[in-house]
Structure 1
Amino acid sequence: MCPDHVINVWYTHNGERVGTYNGHNGSVWTVDVDTQSRFLLSGAADNMMKLWEASTGKCLYTWEFPTAVKRVAWSEDDKQILCITEQRMGYQGAIRVFNINREDPSNQDAEPYSEFNPVGSKATVAAFSYDNDIIITGHESGKVAAFDVKAGEEVNSNQRAHLEPVTDLQMSSDRTYFITSSKDKSAKLHETKTLNVLKHYATDGPLNSAAIAPIRPYILVGGGQEAMNVTTTSARQGKFETRFWHKIFEEEVGRVKGHFGPINTIAVHPAGIQYASGGEDGFVRLHTFDESYFKARPYGDLGEPDE
């Protein structure tokens, strides 16, 4: 994800660059890969969403909309996708859901299976819950909501989940809970079914991304002050570190430095062995967890997953 029209791909095991996905004519704001790493989905400022063959970089299908695509996501079973399009030029912000033809990927439905316009504050992020009939959304007002896909109606909401815009929303591996980050300097863990806040991680800077580590009881968050708001050149001053919090005890347990600008996005390897961070400095940093990460017991056996 970058303010560039080219998508790059690297191998995670050695950091070797594999190639690029060429086809967008505007900044690519969002990408998501299905669970099999077979297909890649992308959305960009050229008002297009594209489906790619992940292994070859071949563009299989393109959807075109009236405004920019700000978020894309796959469902848990890889049979559906969603996208959020920008509220602009007289067009309302919209969430669209498409069924995906995996047998003949170049032959997709041009029209969405469902389309709806969230009333009030616009949606900034979204993901499918454990049930494909429900989509979880985060909004500019700080609200977190649940929408019925078929009816296109809001069925639940937490109006005060955050005090400022929600910047990221990532599901747990079983999708029964999820993490959000916000410009209000906090990340929160929510229960998918009720939208109740389970845990609260308060930081001292605006956050752009938050991720849940599988296997280990940690939350990763990143963000930092915008460059124009930083009065010194110190990276510490700008708070450009990936910060690790204990998921259960809500305490910070470590930081990883490296970026020289705000961190825009964090993603953890599905097996929990690595994480990647993308920054405003133009770098993607791939970190592999060492043995101490897996063996550390900052609270003894409390809060540790069963072996």
Structure 2
Amino acid sequence: MEKRKVAVPLVCHGHLRPVVDLFYSPITSDGFFLISANSSPMLRNGETGDWIGTFEGHKGAVWSCCLDTNALRAASASADFSAKVWDALTGVELHSFEHKHIVRACAFSEDAHMLLTGGFEKILRVFDLNRPEAPAREIDKSPGSIRLATWLHSGQTILSSCTDFGGVRLWDLRSGKIIQTLETTSSVTSAEVSQDGRYITTADGSSVKVWDANHFGLVKSYNMSCIIESASLEPKFGNKIVAGGEDMWLHIFDFHSGEEIGA
């Protein structure tokens, strides 16, 4: 009788609070990387989970984190009313963008020239990283406090969700208007566009969903055993979903079957 192969869990220790956001970089010449947010952003090797470094400087909890296309810069959004951009090689802070309330979301544009933020002010802001001293462009028609914000389709569309409302809203950057809503029962705490641009992965309540990023239909839906705060599609082969939440573990699931293959 053939023995069933058991996957070796990828365990990432070191978090002192629940994992509220995680982000895989695109594949670079040095491999790919994983950044996660709790008390401070933590950078890891995306394949092994090995810790590389922690970005120190925020005076409040970090709610969101991301890497640019080449994994050379990191960004973070914090309860200290700021969003910061870091040198991902040295850990040095490059820019700090002050806000008037808690910042819950941040995202680099595909060309890494713009940084998108959102938070308790109910305003989406776009900062020009080529002119970091310039005022941000503001889109202020969000129906509630912004929980997350990210880019879709080469920086022409913005995805956002609200703390007190279900669904993911798609904004046209040129008009500043909502053009589509992905409906969910619970508030969406995580939304990520896959590296190939085919899928949007979301987390709401104890559910992880995968959507078609071009036609916006629901492709996959998985029910988890706990409340999930964040989820990401592993970029190298696109066959694993990594999810983190209130139990302070990173769980790994098979994309096709939904079976948990590591924790």
Q: Is the 8 A contact 1:210 1:219 kept in 2?
A: no
Match of 1:156 among 180, 196, 199: 180
1:202 aligns with 2:223: yes
Q: How many angstroms apart in 2 are the aligned matches of 1:193 and 1:15?
A: 31
Q: Give ranges in structure 1 of 5+ residues lacking alignment.
A: 87-91, 102-106, 227-237, 258-307
Instruction: Give 5+ residue unaligned stretches, structure 2.
Output: 1-35
Q: Which residue of structure 2 lines up, in the alignment, with residue 213 of structure 1?
A: 234
Which runs of structure 2 are paired with 1:25-174 in the superposition (5 Å)? 25-86=59-120, 92-101=121-130, 108-112=132-136, 114-140=137-163, 141-158=165-182, 161-174=183-196
Query: Are the structure 2 counterparts of residues 149 and 11 from structure 1 closer, same or farther at C-alpha, using a change threshold of 3 Å?
Result: same
Paired residue total: 227
**Contact residue 135 and residue 146 of structure 1 kept, 8 A:** yes
Q: Which amino acid aligns with 2:80?
A: D
Q: CA deviation at 1:217?
A: 5.0
The residue type equivalent to 1:93 in the other structure is K
CA distance in 2 between partners of 1:19 and 1:252 (Å): 31
Q: Identify, as 1 or 2, the structure richer in strand.
A: 2
Contact kept, 8 Å, 1:205 with 1:239, in 2: the verdict is no
**Does the Cα contact within 8 Å between 1:81 and 1:98 map onto a contact in 2?**
yes
Out of 249, 253, 256, the residue aligned to residue 244 of structure 1 is 253
- With 128-137 and 196-205 compared, the bigger mean Cα shift is at 196-205
Q: Deviations over 1:68-94 (max 9, x none)?
A: 1111111112121111122xxxxx311
Whole-Å Cα distance in 2 between the matches of residues 246 and 18 of structure 1? 27
Q: What amino acid is the match of 1:75?
A: S
Which structure: larger Rg? 1
Tell me which amino acid in the other structure corresponds to 1:171.
V
CA deviation vs aligned residue, 1:245-287 (integer Å, no higher than 9, x gap): 333xxx3233323xxxxxxxxxxxxxxxxxxxxxxxxxxxxxx
Cα RMSD of the aligned pairs, angstroms, is 2.6
SS of the aligned residue for 2:127 comes to strand
Asked whether the equivalents of residues 122 and 142 of structure 2 are also in contact (C-alpha less than 8 Å), the reply is: no
Counterparts of 2:181 and 2:47, CA distance in 1: 40
Pair 1:177 & 2:186 matched:
no
Q: CA separation in 2, counterparts of 1:16 and 1:239?
A: 17
Please state how far the C-alpha of 1:146 moved relative to its aligned partner: 0.7
1:129 touches 1:176 (CA, 8 Å); kept in 2? no
Deviation at 1:154, TM superposition (A): 0.8
How far did residue 219 of structure 1 move? Answer: 3.9
Alignment CA distance shift 1:193-1:123 (3 Å): farther
1:39–1:52 contact (8 Å) kept in structure 2: yes
Q: Give the Å deviation of 1:195.
A: 2.4
Q: TM-score, normalised by structure 1?
A: 0.65
- Could you tell me the TM-score, scaled by structure 2's length? 0.75
AA paired with 1:214? P
Q: Which of 238, 242, 260 lines up with 1:254 in the alignment?
A: 260
SS at 1:220 equivalent:
strand
Q: Does the residue aligned with 1:216 lie in a helix, a strand or coil?
A: coil
Identity %: 25
Look up the equivalent residue of 2:231 and give its one-letter code: A
The one-letter amino acid of 1:95's match is: L
Q: Is the 8 A contact 1:125 1:167 kept in 2?
A: yes
In the alignment, residue 147 of structure 2 is paired with which amino acid?
T
